[in-house]
Amino acid sequence: MVLLDGKLISEQIKAEIKVEVESIVRRNGKVPHLAAVLVGDNPASEAYVRSKVRSCEQVGFKSTLIRRGADITEAELLEIVRQLNDDKEIDGFIVQLPLPKHIDEMKVTLAIDYRKDVDGFHPVNFGKMAQGMDTFLPATPYGIIEILERYKIQTAGKHCVVVGRSNIVGTPVSILMSRKGKDCTVTLTHSKTEDIASEIRRADIVIAAIGIPRFITADMVKPGAVVVDVGINRIEDAAAKNGNRLVGDVDFDHVAPKCSYITPVPGGIGLMTVTCLLLNTLKAASQE
Ligand code: GUN
């Protein structure tokens, strides 16, 4: 079994980005600039956004964090989006999800200028992605593709089973894995799938993005499979310093010995997601 090391690959990609930033700055003096909007005090969102800002610093990007309370109105948030769309200093920005229930996430996503949508969530970018056009890929699917490529994992003709159909991971990664270049035969499974275990058992490549701690157990995995774990679930653990720890959607300890390759949690796809957001920001800064 080989561990797909998201930390190692992220560091390699960040070193490549840093070189590129230095060259952009030498050419036109402009530093790529990412803005993030964080609404409310969801601890997971806080952690993600902190990591995004820290990663910007590592590669020499500028970053701006805009924080607002959970009581912000939809109109106020849309006004922030409008200002970021118009701000010539900002190359790309994200609005961290989830948003409070009184705000329509799709309305906010649609308000973002698709040329600055470094999350790749806007339907224009999603549509381009689905048609194989050059665009911002959603960061988590992008991170999955990138780590598979950098470990030279063969995908052509393989059966890929995606578990979970979210707009930001399951659905887009199922499209990307089926497209020319990746060439998998893809099964997209979800909460209504009958006998999900037998679907997963047929997989050469499993992509777990269902948000249920240790949902995928050893009996569901074919020997030699490649397992990509997107889950980041906080569970109670009396032995841990702060009483909890992170686990994925895969029962790592029992599944890992059966796999050819597997991503750990933490240290796998989570880090790749942040790094691929940086790649998208670099792309946004290189346009114009
Ligand atoms: N919430 C969970 N993942 C993401 C992400 O990649 N982007 C944004 N904006 N919100 C998220």
Residues 137-180 pLDDT 10s:
999 999 999 999 999 999 999 999 999 999 999 999 999 999 99
Domain 29-113 has CATH 3.30.450.40: no
Q: What is the pLDDT of residue 210?
A: 97
The preferred substitution site among 38, 119, 144 for testing ligand 1, maximizing ligand atoms within 8 Å of CB, is 119
Respond yes or no: is residue 119 known to be catalytic.
Answer: yes
Determine the distance separating the centroid of ligand 1 and the alpha carbon of 60, expressed in angstroms. 22
Contact status, residue 82 vs residue 51, Cβ threshold 8 Å: no
Respond yes or no: is residue 30 known to be catalytic.
Answer: no
Q: What is the pLDDT of residue 88?
A: 97
pTM, rounded to two decimals: 0.97
Domain ranges within the chain, ordered by starting residue: 29-113, 139-270
Respond yes or no: is residue 96 known to be catalytic.
Answer: yes
Is the pLDDT at 227 greater than 90? The verdict is: yes
Determine the distance separating the centroid of ligand 1 and the alpha carbon of 28, expressed in angstroms. 31
User: Which numeric CATH code is attached to 139-270?
Assistant: 3.40.50.720
Q: Name the amino acid, one letter, at 260.
A: S
Residue 246, strand partner residues: 234
Q: Name the amino acid, one letter, at 259.
A: C
Ligand 1 pocket check for 97: Cβ under 6 Å: yes
Ligand 1 pocket check for 96: Cβ under 6 Å: yes
CA-wise closest residue to 93 among 72, 117, 68, 71: 117
Is the pLDDT at 29 greater than 90? The verdict is: no
Q: Whose CA is nearest to atom 9 of ligand 1?
A: 96
Contact status, residue 225 vs residue 1, Cβ threshold 8 Å: no
Q: What is the pLDDT of residue 288?
A: 64
pLDDT per residue over 236-281, tens digit each?
Answer: 999 998 899 999 999 999 999 999 999 999 999 999 999 999 999 9
